[in-house]
C-alpha cells in the first residue's frame, strides 16, 4: 500500500485532541467552497401514501387506497443531496439504467443542485425501492435491483479519477449493489491525491476499504466484522485491531440510542444521541457521513464534526422517509 501525506489543514482536522475553540462565524462561506466527490450505489426511493380502511377478502392483508406518490433520491444520491443541503458542492459519479425509473432519477438529480456525472446504461435496470405507507407507518417495501455491468463501472471509475484533483474530500457510499466493485482502485487513487476518504461500509469483506481515512458503520454492520464484544474496553480493542489491519485512521460507530463513538489513535470520544422523536431511521447513515464529509472539507476539526453529524442524524430521524438536513436546521442563526 502506497503512503500519502495529508495537507497540514487536513491533518489538523483529524486531530480530535486539539483544544482550540472552533468558530462557526465563517462556516457557511467555507462550506460553499468545499467540494465533495461522491461515488456509490444510486437508487430511486418511491413512496406510495394512502389510507387503510379494510382488509382484503382475498388474503389477510390491508388494502391501501393510494392517494399520493412521491419520489426521492436514494442511496449515494441521497448522500450527495445531504452534502448539497448543507451548502457544500456535491459531485456524484454514478451509473444507473436508461429506463423510466432512471429517467425519473435523472430528473431529480437535475433539479437537486448536485453536479451529477451520471452514465445511464440501456442494459441496466435502475435500482428502485418502493415503500407503501399509511398513517406514517411503512406497511411494505419492494426492491427492484441488479448489479451494473463491468464496462459501465470502468467508465465511472475513469470519470472519478479524472475529477479527483478538483475536489477536497472523497466519499464512497456502499449499499452493496455493485457500484463500488472496484473500491480499492478508487481508494488508491484518492490516497495518491492526498484526499480524506470517508466510507459508509457494507457486507463482510472490509479488506476492500483498506487505506480509507474514516469508516462510519453502525453496530449491525460492525458486528459481523469484529464479532460480539463484551464490554467497552473489548470493543475498543477489537476496533483498534481492525483499524490497524486496514490502515484506517478513524472509525465513527453509530450506536442508535447509545449515541455514537469515534475511535482513533488518540483514544475514544463518545457523543450522546440527540434524537428527540424518531419517525424513520432510513437514511440516517447517509446524513451522518455527508455531514462529516462537508464539515471536514470546510476544515472543521473531527472532534467538532462528529458532534454536528450526530446532531444532524437526530434531526433527520424525526422526518419521514429518505430526507436531508438543511444548514439552518443544523446551525440555527449561524
For 86, 137, 331, the CA distances from 278, given in Å and listed in that order, are 21, 12, 20
For 4, 26, 105, 156, the CA distances from 280, given in Å and listed in that order, are 40, 32, 22, 32
Q: What is the distance between the alpha carbons of residues 93 and 182, in angstroms, rounded to a whole number?
A: 13
Q: What is the distance between the alpha carbons of residues 334 and 329, in angstroms, rounded to a whole number?
A: 10
Q: Which residues contact 311 (CB under 8 A, 6 or more apart)?
A: 274, 330
Q: What is the distance between the alpha carbons of residues 213 and 250, in angstroms, rounded to a whole number?
A: 6
Compute, in degrees rounded to 10, the torsion defined by CA atoms 209, 129, 218, 259.
140
Q: What is the distance between the alpha carbons of residues 78 and 85, in angstroms, rounded to a whole number?
A: 10
Q: What is the distance between the alpha carbons of residues 151 and 122, in angstroms, rounded to a whole number?
A: 12
286 assigned to active site: yes
Q: How many CA atoms within 13 Å lie on the side-chain side of 275?
A: 21
At what angle are helices 76-85 and 100-110 packed, to 10 degrees? 10
Q: Which one from 174, 200, 280, 286 is the annotated catalytic residue?
A: 286
Q: Is 131 left (phi over 0), alpha (psi -120 to 50) or beta?
A: beta
Catalytic residues: 286
Amino acid at each position: 500500500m502506497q503512503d500519502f501525506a495529508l495537507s497540514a489543514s487536513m491533518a489538523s482536522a483529524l486531530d480530535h485532541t486539539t483544544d482550540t475553540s472552533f468558530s462557526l462565524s465563517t462556516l457557511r462561506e467555507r462550506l460553499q467552497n468545499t467540494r465533495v466527490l461522491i461515488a456509490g450505489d444510486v437508487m430511486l426511493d418511491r413512496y406510495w401514501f394512502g389510507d387503510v380502511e379494510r382488509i382484503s377478502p382475498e388474503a389477510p392483508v390491508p388494502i391501501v387506497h393510494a392517494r399520493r406518490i412521491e419520489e426521492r433520491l436514494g442511496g449515494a444520491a441521497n448522500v450527495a443531496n445531504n452534502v448539497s443541503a448543507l451548502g457544500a458542492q456535491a459531485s456524484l459519479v454514478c451509473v444507473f439504467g436508461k429506463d423510466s425509473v432512471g429517467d425519473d432519477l435523472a430528473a431529480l438529480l437535475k433539479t437537486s443542485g448536485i453536479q451529477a456525472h451520471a452514465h445511464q446504461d440501456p442494459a441496466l435496470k435502475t435500482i428502485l425501492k418502493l415503500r407503501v405507507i399509511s398513517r406514517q407507518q411503512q406497511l411494505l417495501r419492494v426492491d427492484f435491483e441488479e448489479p451494473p455491468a463491468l464496462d459501465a463501472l470502468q467508465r465511472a471509475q475513469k470519470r472519478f479519477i479524472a475529477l479527483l484533483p478538483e475536489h477536497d474530500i472523497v466519499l464512497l457510499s456502499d449499499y452493496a449493489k455493485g457500484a463500488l466493485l472496484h473500491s480499492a482502485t478508487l481508494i488508491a487513487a484518492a490516497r495518491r491525491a492526498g484526499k480524506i476518504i470517508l466510507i459508509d461500509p457494507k457486507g463482510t469483506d472490509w479488506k476492500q476499504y483498506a487505506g480509507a481515512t474514516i469508516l462510519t458503520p453502525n453496530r449491525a454492520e460492525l458486528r459481523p466484522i469484529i464479532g460480539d464484544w463484551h464490554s467497552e474496553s473489548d470493543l475498543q480493542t477489537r476496533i483498534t485491531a481492525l483499524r490497524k489491519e486496514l490502515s484506517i485512521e478513524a472509525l465513527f460507530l453509530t450506536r442508535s440510542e447509545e449515541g455514537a463513538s469515534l475511535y482513533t489513535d488518540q483514544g475514544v470520544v463518545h457523543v450522546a444521541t440527540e434524537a428527540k422523536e424518531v419517525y424513520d431511521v432510513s437514511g440516517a447513515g447517509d446524513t451522518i457521513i455527508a455531514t462529516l464529509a462537508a464539515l471536514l472539507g470546510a476544515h472543521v476539526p473531527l472532534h467538532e464534526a462528529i458532534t454536528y453529524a450526530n446532531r444532524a442524524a437526530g434531526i433527520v430521524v424525526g422526518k419521514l422517509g429518505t430526507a436531508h438536513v438543511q444548514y439552518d436546521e443544523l446551525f440555527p442563526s449561524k
